[in-house]
């Protein structure tokens, strides 16, 4: 694009929009319209990136690099490959969806919509920054608006939920910051700052330079015991792992999520589950796998156990819930568990053989596709929950309804499609990602794949239970006048529903863009 800094424009466009919107005060209609316009501009710019992206290359594209704070090894370093571009597109799609779901927000409207734009800027920055110093700023900035969106507009237990969310995420971030500080100190040389660029660190990890640097330049003793370089790498890896495990979340670091998702406004939950949860999986793929492949291999079996636990136990927990938002919250943990299953399964040696490399590519392609598809489907489902709450005065219990398809057939039909997408019905977008994950994982870790199938079975049970309890059975007389979707609502929710069909029938639309990136990542894992 002739040197035009597209990624910088994309990142700062919603930031500028948020600053303008927050200054509008009580001009609610203007604030909503202007915020939505900025989100659409970001979506349009994302389409420009998508159109000009070279899918045949697995390298970083639209790269912008400038020295920022040389003494700290901090560079303004931006770029996207297939993974980054896919997450940018997901962000650009989910944010306007969340705005539409909160269109009737009347309490501090300008502040609410400006915080959504600030959150979008943080997400764009996280998915495009390639230097830890720069990346970490956006990683943390995304936490601040999310915290206030829950704290100021959430349900009765919002104070505790938002505080728990903040503390969990902050602890993970501190652990990750300390780990990268150790890497920075270890890679420092006289007159030369340490390394913080992700791409350079990945190359150094492949050559064993990080371990050598820790052995030469960095040491730590505890109770008289001197840690070896490999032990130091393990500790540093653990700190980074904690930061991403909390964000996904990986069990047992998940306890903040159900309360936060259920207490947050449904439109905010759309952002939390649709995009923010992907930050953790993105971190596993962008940072942990390329920079710590050896440590991932060492801990592969316990990590796979945690992934299986995340998949199966979260599905069982969803089945035990009576609140629609808590059901979908645990379902979100379950679906992201499949992504982690793929990530942990590929952390194996012997990748020089053709078959394992092929299976690793299938698993990682499935993980990336699952990230996008889950973000779209989960955000749509929480949008339907928001519409239910608007029509029922805030009720969302599994047993509060019944027989709604008799009075709202279009509503129930469209939400049913989204639920079947979450179930992984063939023909819808939720199927192909899970299929590729299991296709790749079964040869690499058959026991983990076999146990994870239990999660699919339980998912089918609780989703069919939702359909039975809410839509079918005798009509609760309370809802004789439950309104169906209006024409405008039908038009709006039909867009993500249509995309579910498109990606279900034509997954190559996404796979064609991400496959080169996946193959490059598989190549990096040959150790």
Q: What is the pLDDT of residue 351?
A: 44
pLDDT at 220 over 70: no
Residues 273 and 185 sit within 8 Å (Cβ to Cβ): no
Q: What 3-state DSSP class applies to 482?
A: coil
Query: Is the pTM for the entire model greater than 0.85?
Result: yes
Work out the pLDDT band at 352, boundaries 50, 70, 90.
very low
Residue 66 phi, psi dihedral angles, 5° rounding: -145, 145
Contacts of 299 (CB under 8 A, 6+ apart): 237
Report the pLDDT averaged over residues 159-175.
89
Q: How far apart are CA 59 and CA 287, in angstroms?
A: 15
Burial 9-29 (b: 16+ CB within 10 A, else e): ebbebbbebbebbbebeeebe
Token pair recorded at residue 248 = 């996904």
pLDDT at 215 over 80: no
- DSSP symbol at 65: E
Torsion sign over Cα 312, 306, 350, 522: positive
Token pair recorded at residue 359 = 């299976």
Q: How far apart are CA 332 and CA 261, in angstroms?
A: 10
Q: What is the pLDDT of residue 355?
A: 58
Q: What is the pLDDT of residues 469-526, one digit of tens each?
A: 999 888 888 888 899 999 999 999 999 999 999 999 999 999 999 999 999 988 887 6
Q: What is the pLDDT of residues 187-205, one digit of tens each?
A: 887 777 888 888 888 888 8
pLDDT at 155 over 90: no
Q: What is the pLDDT of residue 80?
A: 95
Q: What is the pLDDT of residue 221?
A: 59
Report the pLDDT averaged over residues 48-60.
91
Q: What is the pLDDT of residue 350?
A: 52
Give the C-alpha distances (Å, rounded to integers) separating 7 from 128, 145, 451: 7, 21, 41
Report the pLDDT averaged over residues 85-101.
95
Residues 362 and 439 sit within 8 Å (Cβ to Cβ): yes
Q: Which residues pair with residue 323 across a beta bridge?
A: 397
Report the pLDDT averaged over residues 334-360.
80
Question: How many whole angstroms from its chain centre is CA 363?
Answer: 17
- Greatest pairwise CA separation for the chain in angstroms: 78
Q: How far apart are CA 232 and CA 213, in angstroms?
A: 11
pLDDT at 468 over 50: yes
Q: What is the pLDDT of residues 357-366, one digit of tens each?
A: 888 999 999 9
Q: What is the pLDDT of residue 399?
A: 87
Q: What is the pLDDT of residue 71?
A: 81
Q: What is the pLDDT of residue 295?
A: 87
Residues 75 and 195 sit within 8 Å (Cβ to Cβ): no
Q: How far apart are CA 112 and CA 116, in angstroms?
A: 7
Percent of the chain with pLDDT over 70: 95
pLDDT at 417 over 90: yes
Percent of the chain with pLDDT over 90: 59
Work out the pLDDT band at 230, boundaries 50, 70, 90.
confident
Say if residue 252 is preceded by a cis peptide, omega within 30 of 0. Answer: yes
Indicate the average pLDDT of the chain. Answer: 89
Q: How far apart are CA 432 and CA 373, in angstroms?
A: 9
């Amino acid at each position: 694009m002739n040197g035009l800094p597209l990624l910088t424009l994309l990142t700062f466009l919603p930031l500028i929009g948020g600053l303008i919107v927050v200054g509008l005060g009580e001009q609610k209609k203007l604030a909503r319209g202007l915020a939505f316009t900025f989100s659409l501009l970001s979506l349009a710019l994302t389409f420009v990136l998508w159109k000009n992206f070279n899918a045949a290359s697995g390298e970083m594209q639209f790269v912008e690099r400038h020295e920022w704070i040389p003494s700290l090894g901090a560079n303004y370093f931006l770029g996207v490959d297939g993974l980054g571009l896919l997450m940018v597109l997901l962000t650009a799609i989910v944010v306007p969806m969340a705005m539409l779901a909160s269109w009737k927000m009347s309490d501090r409207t300008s502040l609410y919509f400006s915080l959504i734009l600030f959150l979008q800027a943080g997400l764009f920055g996280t998915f495009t920054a390639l230097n830890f110093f720069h990346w970490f700023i956006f990683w943390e900035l995304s936490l601040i608006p999310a915290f206030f969106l829950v704290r100021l507009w959430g349900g009765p237990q919002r104070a505790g939920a938002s505080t728990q969310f903040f503390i969990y995420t902050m602890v993970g971030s501190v652990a990750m910051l300390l780990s990268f500080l150790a890497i920075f100190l270890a890679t420092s040389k006289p007159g030369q700052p340490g390394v913080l660029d992700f791409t350079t660190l990945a190359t150094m990890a492949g050559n064993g330079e990080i371990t050598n640097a820790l052995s030469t330049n960095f040491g730590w003793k505890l109770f008289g015991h001197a840690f070896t370089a490999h032990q130091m790498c393990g500790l540093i890896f653990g700190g980074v792992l904690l930061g991403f495990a909390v964000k996904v979340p990986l069990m047992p670091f998940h306890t903040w999520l159900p309360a936060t998702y259920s207490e947050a406004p449904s439109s905010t939950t759309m952002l939390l589950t649709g995009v923010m949860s992907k930050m953790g999986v993105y971190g596993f793929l962008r940072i942990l796998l390329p920079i710590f492949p050896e440590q991932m291999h060492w801990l592969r079996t316990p990590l796979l156990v945690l992934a299986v636990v995340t998949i199966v136990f979260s599905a069982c927990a969803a089945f035990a819930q009576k609140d629609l938002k808590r059901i979908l919250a645990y379902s979100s943990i379950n679906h992201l568990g499949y992504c982690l299953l793929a990530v942990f399964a590929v952390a194996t040696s012997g990748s020089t053989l053709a078959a394992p490399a092929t299976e690793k590519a299938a698993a990682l392609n499935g993980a990336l596709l699952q990230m996008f598809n889950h973000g779209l489907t989960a955000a749509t489902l929480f949008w339907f929950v928001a519409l239910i709450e608007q029509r029922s005065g805030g009720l969302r219990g599994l047993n509060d309804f019944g027989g709604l398809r008799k009075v709202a057939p279009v509503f129930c039909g469209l939400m049913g499609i989204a639920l079947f997408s979450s179930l992984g019905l063939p023909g819808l977008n939720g199927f192909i990602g899970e299929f590729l994950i299991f296709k790749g994982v079964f040869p690499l870790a058959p026991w983990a794949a076999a146990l994870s199938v239990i999660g699919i079975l339980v998912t089918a049970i609780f989703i069919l239970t939702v359909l039975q309890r809410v839509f079918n059975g005798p009509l609760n007389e309370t809802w004789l006048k439950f309104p169906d979707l209006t024409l405008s609502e039908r038009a709006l929710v039909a867009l993500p529903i249509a995309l579910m069909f498109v990606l279900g029938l034509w997954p190559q639309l996404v796979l064609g863009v991400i496959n080169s990136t996946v193959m490059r990542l598989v190549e990096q894992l040959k150790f």
